[in-house]
Amino acid sequence: ALQENLGAAFKTLRGQGKLTEGNMRDGLKLVEKALLEADVSYEVVRTFMKRVGEQALGEKVLGSLRPNEQVIGIVYQELVNLMGPVDHSLHLKGKGDVTVLMMCGLQGSGKTTTCGKLGKMLKANGRRPLLVAADLQRPAAIDQLHVLGEQLDIPVFSDRTTQDPVKVTANAVERAKKLEADVVILDTAGRLHIDSELMDQLKRIDQRCHPDQIYLVVDGMTGQDAVNSAKAFNEALELDGVIMTKLDGDARGGAAISVKEVTGVPLKFMGTGEHLENLEPFHPERMAGRILGQGDMMSLVEKAQQEFDQDEAKRLEEQLAKGEFTLDDFLKQMQQIKRLGPMKKVLGMIPGMGSMLGDLDELDAEGDLRRLQGIIHSMTLNERRKPKTIDQSRRRRIAAGAGVEPSAVNDLVKQFDTIAPIMTAMAGKGMGDRMKMMKQ
């Protein structure tokens, strides 16, 4: 994967005692190779490497004390520059006015799902969305939107008596006020491939309804194709933003890197799962961090803020401030983190955890947590508070109690040692403040 390849590239750079122009070039070649393998478009890689190379081979870097770290910094900053800046606003009009958002994209890209996700988000923000079934290509498409609407308790406008999506959207926009809606979300039709008939239809909707914002939904797993479709749609419609879906799973990330550079249109949001809450603002810094495998503490904290039990967080914060982070807290922490979503996805955001988890799959991670719990429950209260006191004989006793190998107890204590300083550092500023700070 891109992360691993870049990791290898940086390792090569790090491994050099003294960086020379020669071995710097070797390291950069590996960076280039990693990007190409991740399906970043050739043009983008070329300009990117030119920018990075000019800076990395400059005297300031080669002459500096830690040239390798500076190179990573340059790669990071250039990745951020490639993907940003991003404007996350949906540019909604004031209360009483109707804003029209038009969603388009190829079939299967995730349009309908994303309409639902946006509706949910808007509703949570006190808006009154209206979903419009303007995909008349497949009869099931209308049903799908109605199911989403029911699930979210959001009204859906559809008209099964016509084959003309322009008419449907025009009627929907006209009726929006009567339906007391202030944001109209148009779910338009897609095709398997870009064709002129589809583009004409979308253009006609655009001309008739004058949507305030047009967003393209692309499937992040399709790599280069996602970028090409963004280019084609943007030429026909002048997009205001791109929403990239399916950035959960093993998406190679290359498409996210290229879209803005190729089309000039920024990624606004990303879909990170099939569930309706899996829509997140796209942050170039976080994506760059993720690509470089630095972990993504900020996303984790933001998620945590939404879903952590507030009281528990406060209690933990107090404990941490007193420097009393115990194995019991660790277990609670792991259990809470588990509630946040697929274990591996969330844990992967903690620096250092990604590699620690290795190739565990979801089920194993769940089993791991149960095993963890078994081990911790086999400890005395004092051992949980002061894991350092666990010597060989205690380790053997705990392992026997939990039905695991003594080495598993050892691993757990090591994991704890990794997490505790992170947690304590976070508490240093007060978890609440810290979260607020990161949200800005």
Q: Token pair 């983008």 is at which residue? A: 44
Residue placing its CB nearer to ligand GDP in the complex, 277 or 312: 277
Among 3, 12, 68, 112, binds Mg ion (CB under 5 A): 112
What the block records as the tokens of 326 is 């115990």
**Residue 406, preceding peptide bond in cis (omega within 30° of 0):** no
Beta strands in 272-315 (DSSP E): 279-281
**Which residues are CB-contacts of 372 (< 8 A; sequence separation ≥ 6)?**
331, 334, 412
CA dihedral 424, 428, 433, 434 (to 10 degrees): -60
Instruction: Consult the annotation and say whether 385 binds a ligand.
Output: no
Shortest separation between residue 354's beta carbon and ligand GDP, angstroms? 19
Residue placing its CB nearer to ligand GDP in the complex, 27 or 119: 119
Q: Token pair 């420097």 is at which residue? A: 323
Among 7, 73, 84, 108, binds ligand GDP (CB under 6 A): 108
Q: Token pair 């249109």 is at which residue? A: 265
Residue 326 binds to ligand GDP (criterion: CB under 6 A): no
Residue 109 binds to ligand GDP (criterion: CB under 6 A): yes
Instruction: Consult the annotation and say whether 107 binds a ligand.
Output: yes
Query: Which of ligand GDP, Mg ion, none interacts with 108 (beta carbon under 5 to 8 A by kind)?
Result: ligand GDP
CA dihedral 131, 100, 253, 85 (to 10 degrees): -150
Query: Which of ligand GDP, Mg ion, none interacts with 113 (beta carbon under 5 to 8 A by kind)?
Result: ligand GDP
Residue 258 binds to Mg ion (criterion: CB under 5 A): no
Residue 249 binds to ligand GDP (criterion: CB under 6 A): yes
Shortest separation between residue 225's beta carbon and Mg ion, angstroms? 18
Decide if 190 contacts 137 (C-beta within 8 A). Answer: yes
Selected range binding ligand GDP among 243-251, 311-319, 342-350, 409-417, rule: CB under 6 A: 243-251
Shortest separation between residue 289's beta carbon and ligand GDP, angstroms? 20
Query: Which of Mg ion, ligand GDP, none interacts with 278 (beta carbon under 5 to 8 A by kind)?
Result: ligand GDP
Residue 229 binds to Mg ion (criterion: CB under 5 A): no
Selected range binding ligand GDP among 111-119, 166-174, 289-297, 298-306, rule: CB under 6 A: 111-119
Beta strands in 156-240 (DSSP E): 156-157, 183-188, 213-219
Nearest to 240 by CA among 217, 220, 266: 266
Decide if 148 contacts 190 (C-beta within 8 A). Answer: no
Residue placing its CB nearer to Mg ion in the complex, 226 or 402: 226
Residue 248 binds to ligand GDP (criterion: CB under 6 A): yes
**Which residues are CB-contacts of 214 (< 8 A; sequence separation ≥ 6)?**
101, 102, 104, 206, 237, 238, 239, 240
Beta strands in 180-335 (DSSP E): 183-188, 213-219, 241-245, 267-271, 279-281
Q: Token pair 């961090």 is at which residue? A: 289
Among 3, 245, 258, 299, binds ligand GDP (CB under 6 A): 245
Instruction: Consult the annotation and say whether 190 binds a ligand.
Output: yes
Nearest to 406 by CA among 419, 395, 420, 421: 395
Residue 158 binds to ligand GDP (criterion: CB under 6 A): no
Contacts with ligand GDP, 170-199, as mask; x by CB under 6 A: --------------------x---------
**CB atoms near residue 335 (< 10 Å):** 13
* Interface with ligand GDP: number of residues (CB under 6 A): 18
Q: How far apart are CA 231 and CA 216, in angstroms?
A: 10
* 42-56 and 67-83 helices, crossing angle to 10°: 140
Q: Token pair 């349009």 is at which residue? A: 111
Contacts with Mg ion, 140-179, as mask; x by CB under 5 A: -x--------------------------------------
Residue 245 binds to Mg ion (criterion: CB under 5 A): no
Selected range binding Mg ion among 33-41, 105-113, 246-254, 305-313, rule: CB under 5 A: 105-113
Selected range binding ligand GDP among 240-248, 280-288, 291-299, 388-396, rule: CB under 6 A: 240-248
Binding residues for GTP, as ranges, are 105-112, 187-191, 245-248
Give residues in contact with Mg ion (CB under 5 A). Answer: 111-112, 141
